[in-house]
């Protein structure tokens, strides 16, 4: 199988996994949001915020190290697994010891049981089979996708069952626990390798991972310190809404676009010294996911009330503006991930750490020292600053590792996506305003608006791609990709099922 076909297949599988997982997750959210209240999500947000910080401390970049290495040996696998176990055990002990301090700070004794249950999750997650990296390097994602979807389905069933019985925050705790345990245990079924305790490769891995660990901690603090600030400035109901809206808005990037672009790390690493070919692939690997991210961002921003009402129900509608604000972060997160990927394939984890440090200091200095007593104002300031830093980072990386002219080409090639998205937004809003009385309920209305937006956007983008493929290498590639997908679809539809 060609590298291109492997990459496309891998991206499709990861996208399919993400879509199916999020479909199951949204069904779970639809149920849980109507059975639980924002305060339940608030108490879990505090627990997950604490867990996330310690998880970042545990994240030493072992998987990234194995992915970028030219060859992976047993010593490398064993060292990665051993480091993961050691760090996980250390973090588990730390969380148990600091739980009383956290409970006293937030003045909520319910956190005792929640955090003690969550503490064992570190050992469960850290004990997973590191040899799944072989499947990723071979771009054989099917076993990983199956395991991930299975774990998600089992966790949702468990969470909903607990919610039906107890109707409290333990439903969310059980859901998290079940998926972590299922994926960790299942990793030993999808690959036969059995890791052993060893630190033979420790020095080499730590030279790479030391800076990765620091930037991981900073990256988490940068993305989650705002949740901590909200927890100290606003009520638990406001915190629960803030956390939930932020999570929902991150779904396209974290669970769809991000996983679908994961195979690009391997491909770009192989061609990083290929000159013009690397420039073209660099642009394409950004433009293609932005074909999804930009219209998704604009659609959700324009229809934030309808989306919130459809997914979460009436209890959450007053916080729909938060959802709109967080949706605008979809593009900036994707751009930042793309630029960071280039740093990783060149082994510049130290530079990535400095970027995280500088942006962290400036963003949170503003959020802490300026009077942002309104939750919407607070959210807007954070997202705007993050967008500015992401674009500056992308500009620097693109010019440094490609060229200034390629940077301009990349930006110009985004114009058709923005134009098609705005046209689709205008068309769908026109239909919504003039024919809203045709819908019996909000779910039907949301489906109809989504269908109208998607149809207009696809046709507008297809028309522009057909015209631009004659003058742009990037759009020529995208046009060929569309034609190949079209050919595969037609072949499947016209094939004789009896053969």
**226 located within any domain:** no
pLDDT of residue 29: 58
Residues spanned by the domain of 193: 1-207
Q: What share of the chain is helix, strand, coil (3-state, %, to 5)?
A: 85, 0, 15
Terminal-to-terminal C-alpha distance of the chain: 24
**Radius of gyration for the chain, computed over Cα atoms and rounded to the nearest angstrom:** 23
Q: In which residue are the tokens 């500015």 written?
A: 388
User: What confidence tier does 117 reach under pLDDT thresholds 50, 70, 90?
Assistant: confident
pLDDT digits (tens, 9 = 90+) for 119-178: 888 888 888 888 888 887 777 777 887 888 888 888 888 888 887 887 777 877 888 888
pLDDT digits (tens, 9 = 90+) for 54-90: 776 666 566 777 776 778 788 888 888 888 888 888 8
115 neighbors 102 (Cβ within 8 angstroms): yes
- Residues 14, 87, single domain; the answer is yes
- Residues 351, 442, single domain; the answer is yes
Vertex 93, ends 90 and 99: CA angle to 5°?
135
pLDDT of residue 425: 93
The pair of structure tokens assigned to 355 is 């970027």
User: What confidence tier does 263 reach under pLDDT thresholds 50, 70, 90?
Assistant: low
pLDDT of residue 320: 86
The pair of structure tokens assigned to 260 is 């679908």
Q: Domain count of the chain?
A: 2
Mean pLDDT of 420-442: 81
| Interatomic CA distance for residues 109 and 428, integer angstroms | 48
User: What confidence tier does 389 reach under pLDDT thresholds 50, 70, 90?
Assistant: very high
**257 located within any domain:** no
pLDDT digits (tens, 9 = 90+) for 269-289: 566 666 677 788 788 888 888
- Residues 194, 324, single domain; the answer is no
Where b means 16+ CB within 10 Å and e means fewer, 92-122 reads beebeeebeebbeebeeeebeebbeebbbbb
- Domain-terminating residue out of 175, 207, 239: 207
**70 located within any domain:** yes
pLDDT at 8 over 70: no
User: What confidence tier does 408 reach under pLDDT thresholds 50, 70, 90?
Assistant: very high
The pair of structure tokens assigned to 349 is 């984890």
**74 located within any domain:** yes
pLDDT digits (tens, 9 = 90+) for 391-402: 999 999 999 888
- Residues 184, 312, single domain; the answer is no
| Interatomic CA distance for residues 260 and 12, integer angstroms | 7
- Domain-terminating residue out of 207, 232, 262: 207
- Residues 446, 346, single domain; the answer is yes
Nearest CA to 156 among 275, 25, 31, 336? Answer: 25
Q: Please tell me the number of Cα atoms within 13 Å of 429 on its side-chain side.
A: 14
The secondary structure of residue 314, as a DSSP letter, is G
Average pLDDT, the chain: 80
Cβ-based neighbours of 262, under 8 Å, separated by 6 or more: 10, 14, 136
pLDDT digits (tens, 9 = 90+) for 20-35: 555 555 555 556 666 6
- Residues 197, 308, single domain; the answer is no
| Interatomic CA distance for residues 362 and 384, integer angstroms | 12
């Amino acid at each position: 199988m060609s590298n291109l076909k492997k990459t496309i297949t891998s991206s499709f599988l990861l996208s399919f996994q993400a879509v199916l997982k999020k479909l199951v997750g949204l069904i779970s959210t639809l149920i849980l949001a109507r059975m639980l209240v924002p305060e339940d999500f608030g108490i879990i947000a505090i627990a997950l915020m604490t867990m996330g910080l310690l998880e970042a401390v545990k994240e030493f970049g072992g998987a990234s190290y194995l992915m970028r290495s030219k060859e992976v040996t047993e010593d490398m696998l064993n060292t990665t697994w051993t480091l993961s176990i050691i760090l996980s055990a250390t973090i588990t002990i730390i969380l148990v010891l600091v739980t009383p301090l956290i409970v006293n700070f937030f003045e909520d004794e319910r956190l005792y049981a929640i955090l003690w249950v969550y503490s064992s999750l570190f050992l469960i997650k850290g004990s997973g089979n590191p040899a799944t990296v072989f499947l990723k390097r071979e771009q054989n994602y099917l076993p990983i996708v199956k395991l991930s979807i299975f774990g998600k389905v089992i966790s949702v069933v468990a969470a909903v069952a607990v919610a039906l019985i107890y109707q409290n925050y333990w439903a969310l705790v059980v859901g998290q626990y079940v998926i972590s345990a299922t994926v960790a245990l299942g990793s030993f079924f999808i690959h036969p390798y059995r890791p052993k305790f060893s630190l033979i490769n420790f020095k080499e891995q730590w030279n790479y991972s030391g800076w990765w660990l620091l930037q991981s901690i900073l990256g988490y603090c940068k993305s989650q310190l705002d949740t901590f600030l909200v927890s100290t400035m606003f009520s638990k109901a406001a915190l629960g809404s803030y956390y939930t809206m932020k999570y929902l808005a991150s779904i396209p990037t974290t669970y769809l676009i991000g996983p679908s672009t994961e195979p690009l790390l391997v491909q770009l690493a192989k061609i990083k010294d290929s000159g013009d070919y690397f420039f073209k692939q660099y642009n394409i690997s950004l433009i293609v996911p932005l074909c999804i991210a930009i219209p998704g961002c604009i659609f959700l921003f324009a229809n934030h009330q309808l989306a919130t009402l459809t997914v979460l129900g009436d209890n959450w509608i007053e916080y729909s503006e938060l959802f709109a604000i967080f949706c605008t972060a979809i593009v900036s997160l994707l751009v930042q991930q793309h630029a960071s990927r280039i740093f990783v394939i060149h082994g510049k984890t130290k530079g990535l750490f400095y970027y995280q440090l500088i942006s962290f200091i400036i963003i949170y200095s503003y959020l802490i020292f300026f009077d942002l007593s309104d939750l919407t104002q607070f959210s807007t300031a954070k997202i705007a600053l993050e967008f500015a830093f992401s674009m500056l980072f992308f500009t620097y990386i693109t010019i440094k590792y490609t060229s200034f002219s390629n940077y301009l080409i990349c930006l110009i090639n985004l114009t058709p996506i923005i134009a098609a998205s705005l046209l689709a937004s205008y068309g769908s809003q026109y239909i919504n305003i003039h024919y809203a009385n045709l819908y019996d309920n909000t779910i039907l209305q949301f489906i109809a608006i989504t269908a109208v937006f998607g149809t207009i956007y696809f046709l507008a983008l297809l028309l522009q791609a057909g015209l631009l493929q004659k003058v742009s290498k990037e759009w020529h590639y995208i046009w060929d990709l569309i034609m190949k997908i079209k050919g595969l679809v037609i072949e499947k539809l016209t094939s004789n099922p009896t053969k």
